[in-house]
Amino acid sequence: MTDAAVSLSRARRLPQHVLLTVALVVLPLVLAVIALCLGRYLVSPGNALSILASKALPIAPHWEAVEETVVLNIRLPRVLMALLIGGGLAVAGAAFQGLFGNPLVSPHILGVSSGAGFGAALTILVFRHMAFVPAGALVFGILAMMVALWISRRGGRSSLFMLILGGVITAAMFEALLSLLKYVADPNDTLPTIVYWLMGSLTSSSYEMLAWGAPLIGVGVAALWALRWRLNILSLSEVEARSLGTNVTVMRWVVIVAATLVTATTVSLAGIIGWVGLVIPHVARMLVGANHSALIPASVSIGAIYLLVIDTVARTATSAEIPLSILTAIIGAPFFAYLLKRAKGGWS
């Protein structure tokens, strides 16, 4: 191919690249405004934007007081939480899939969600108050990761195969303990609370939860972004990665700890939400490729969009709010089957 042909090809691809980048940046913001307007009490987009802008600009109120309460105190923290958790789960899933070189891996591969679920159930059972649930879920989610890593250690080293087995064993153990807690819980009070929390919901979203959850997820995502080139190398075989001068063991530890911190925090904030970290990285990979320098930001945007749409449907479709894990499974499972058929079981 001549230099002129190469230049023409690049010129044709550039607008598509720019349009995709703009869409991934703008679309979450547009959908966030729409989500602020939708609900049992409808708010016009103009009023919603004016209410938000009034916190930074001297705008005279021309909206009802109830609209400001609904937008700022009820819907805004929930919208921000959906964007945060969706983006976090998608990035964690992309990191784990790259680390294990397996498109079937999800952020819950090391038993983190099972450990966090047990921690939340134990906290509900002991303290009988939802205020302590995030702390209990976060602690036991990280503990589950540590147990899986301990099980996988063999002769001072941990292979990916042993790590997956350690995660399976850890998840089974905490799921059994969770079943035990359900068995002893009060069926008229505590048990329904545990079951509903485990199905995932953003009902309890608040600025206080965002204040401590966002920094933890931000640290994990930032660490994975900083390791984006290392993740490309770790996606290769271990022999190839070591031949390129990468300390595979250290890099695996850092990626696992960062992705686990993101996953455990998301579970502690909203319960167990499946399929986001499994499906969204595939969608992002179809759009931008497997290079993590583009895959991670694309996963953040698409994951945020996906969970925001799911949560908006969950709270507006019926009079009773639908748990998020139900909708993510109903939509995610068929779509993932389509992706596998389209890719003929391949990676991309």
Task: From first to last of the 348 residues of the chain, give the pLDDT tens digit.
Answer: 455 444 545 545 557 778 888 999 999 999 999 999 999 899 999 999 999 999 888 888 888 999 999 999 999 999 999 999 999 999 999 999 998 888 888 898 899 999 999 999 999 999 877 788 999 999 999 999 999 989 888 755 667 888 889 999 999 999 999 999 999 999 988 999 999 999 999 998 999 999 999 999 999 999 999 999 889 888 777 777 777 777 888 888 899 999 999 999 999 999 999 899 999 999 999 899 889 999 999 999 999 999 999 999 999 988 889 999 999 999 888 988 887 777 665 554
pLDDT digits (tens, 9 = 90+) for 214-254: 999 999 999 999 999 889 888 777 777 777 777 888 888 89
pLDDT digits (tens, 9 = 90+) for 36-78: 999 989 999 999 999 999 988 888 888 899 999 999 999 999 9
The pLDDT value recorded for residue 6 is 47
CA-based angle 37:27:43, to the nearest 5? 5
What lies within 8 Å, CB to CB, of 186 at 6+ separation is none
The pLDDT value recorded for residue 222 is 96
| Cα Rg, the chain, nearest whole Å | 21
CA-based angle 273:169:332, to the nearest 5? 25
CB atoms within 10 A of CB 118: 27
Pick the closest to residue 75 from 47, 46, 33 (CA basis): 33
**CA-CA-CA-CA torsion for 208, 129, 274, 202, nearest 10 degrees?**
-40
Strand partners, 154: 157
* Token code pair at residue 189: 């009070």
Q: Which CATH class is domain 77-343?
A: mainly alpha
The pLDDT value recorded for residue 256 is 93
The pLDDT value recorded for residue 307 is 97
CB 91 within 8 A of CB 303: yes
pLDDT digits (tens, 9 = 90+) for 272-289: 998 999 999 999 998 998
CB 326 within 8 A of CB 333: no
